[in-house]
Structure 1
């Protein structure tokens, strides 16, 4: 995967992460009994955060001062 492809993937992961955040908030505000769905969305959001972190770590060079 090239650096440009990684940046595009990173952008799409961030959008999906933000969308999940909005969906989770909407479900919580609705106060519905579907806590299992909320838990699944939160797990998905955590996996996305991990993927985002991995890509950001790869794209950000280590600078030794």
Structure 2
């Protein structure tokens, strides 16, 4: 994960994660049409997709500037 608060680096990482998330979504959608689907592999894809979703949410919140109280 990106430690610095550089918005450009965060945005770049966010774009990478979104692409990977979209690719996993497509792979999961294709899974039921496989002749002999591997349930464990499908579960791993879904778990990775959820992890990416959480990472994306954290990075998106890091891009939102803090408002003074």
TM range (shorter): 0.7 to 0.9
Q: Stretches of 4+ moved more than 3 A in 1?
A: none
TM-score (norm 1): 0.86
Tell me how many residue pairs correspond in the alignment: 64
Query: Tell me, which stretches of 5 or more residues in structure 2 are unaligned?
Result: none
Question: How big is the alpha-carbon RMSD for the aligned residues of Structure 1 and Structure 2?
Answer: 1.7
TM-score (norm 2): 0.82
Alignment deviations for residues 6-62 of structure 1 (CA, whole Å, 9 cap, x no partner):
000000000000000001111122253301100000000000000000000110235
Asked whether 1:60 is paired with 2:69, we answer no
Q: Distance in 2 between matches of 1:63 and 1:31?
A: 53
Query: Tell me, which stretches of 5 or more residues in structure 1 are unaligned?
Result: none
